[in-house]
Amino acid sequence: MSLSPVVTLQQPQTVRSVSSPLKTLASGQTSSNGTPRPAAQPAPKAVGPATLDVAEQMNEEEKRKYVKGKPCRLQPDKTNINFIANFRTPIQARSSVKKIKMQKEYTEGMPPDAVRELKHLQELHHPNIISLQSVFSSKDQNVNLVLEYLPLGDLEMLIRDTTNVHYGAADIKAWMGMLVRAIWFCHENFVLHRDIKPNNLLIAADGEVKLADFGLARGFGDIHSYMTSNVITRWYRPPELLFGAKHYGGAVDIWSVGTVFAELIKRAPFMPGNNELDQIKLICDAIGTPTEDNWPGVTTLPEYTVPTQNPVRGKDFYMYQFGTVGPDGVDLLIRTLALNPKKRITAREMLSHPWWHAEPKPTRKEDLPRKDGGEDKMGADLKRRPGVVEEEKRGAKVARKLDFGGAK
């Protein structure tokens, strides 16, 4: 009798059997006295070399490319546990794994944010968009997204850490460039991200910024379909959504890009509203009140209400607050924060704006400021990051819950 064979990974036979739990047990015949019969005859059923369906085999192939590493909570999101995973190949590449658990509260199967994230990340391949390397399911029917490993935290960490992280106009230009390229690529492929904010902008080991979390993304361009206005984290949400617009395009993301730009300069959220009405008030104060004059048709939006009548701010006002990025930078910022979405600059137009060519040149990504230190430091950073107050606030602000019933 031979010992259990050496298991090598290359053999397809090592694929674990995922047989049906309801398997009708092959009737084991017994001798009259109940003792097991010696194996004189060959076993009743020959175990075939492959006991998986083709679909299951393909899944196993994906799964076996990775070896699980230590757990690492990359995002403070209780439904998604992240692991570091090592690629099971000679190239010791690392990945992070986002595990999507089937939620008990959501009784309609796979949660919509998981469907959206998978749908869009499968299609979008760009250096400034987090790359989905693989997807596989584990036996407990959780879906595992293998995402590229982005160990240097996110832009929010850098913005907030004013004591240790110092950055200037050239760094802002580099980060903004990467963000704008990411969003341009999404729009070029008819995808709206709908949740752009500093903590969805993750940083790779080489300093490259990657747009992540496509849980609220959707396609656009179909004029017939109703779109929910309850998206984008409030501080970054454009006025048309606050007024309840049911049809919109890439301009909603551009507004968020503008608010992130402003936040990078100020090192504090630009318009941190406490609720939707407060958010509208902050917009009216900081940028100007949307009226029929500056935005024809705005008063017909379903939830149009404005608390005050302020004129739209002039360039001087912005120069005073955001002058560190120079007059061209301020011009770009003003265009991204145009109240009327039709007049707001597009991602493509942003890319050809003179600011990119003005001095200073954007910092090379390798030289960008970072919060470095080993992985342990990173773990500590990640633990420290959600300050208690911050955590409470954030939870309330995320427009996670969509009105699915409303969509017919």
Residues in 75-94 that interact with another protein by CB under 8 A = 83, 85
Q: Is 379 in the site for another protein (CB under 8 A)?
A: no
Q: Please identify which residue in 32, 33, 48, 163 interacts with another protein, judged by CB under 8 A.
A: 48
Single-letter residue type at 387: G
Check residue 104 for interaction with another protein (CB under 8 A). no
Toward another protein, which CB reaches closer, 73 or 371? 73
When asked if residue 376 is in the footprint of another protein (CB under 8 A), the reply is no
Residues 193, 216 contacting (CB under 8 angstroms): yes
Active-site hit among 195, 213, 253, 331: 195
| Residue written as token pair 């960490």 | 157
In angstroms, give the least distance from the CB of 212 to another protein.
18
> Under the phi-then-psi rule, with left for phi > 0, alpha for psi from -120 to 50, and beta for the rest, what region is 207?
left
Binding mask 389-408 for another protein (x = CB under 8 A): -------------x-xx-xx
Going by C-alpha positions, the residue among 97, 45, 49 that lies closest to residue 70 is: 97
Q: Least distance in Å: CB of 128 to another protein? A: 14
Q: Name which of 124 and 152 has its Cβ closer to another protein.
A: 124
Q: Is 302 in the site for another protein (CB under 8 A)?
A: no
- How far is Cα 119 from Cα 166, in angstroms, rounded to an integer? 37
**In angstroms, what is the minimal distance from the CB of 199 to another protein?**
24
20: contact with another protein by CB under 8 A: yes
Q: Mark whether 77 is an active-site residue.
A: no
Give the range of 52-60, 170-178, 260-268, 304-312 binding another protein by CB under 8 A: 52-60
Q: Which of residues 21-40 bind another protein (CB under 8 A)?
A: 21-30, 36-39
Q: Provide DSSP, 112-159.
A: HHHHHHHHHHTT---TTB--EEEEEE-TTS-EEEEEE--TT-BHHHHH
Of 398, 371, 366, residue with least CA distance to 382: 371
Closest CA to 250 of 180, 329, 318, 305: 180
Catalytic residues: 195
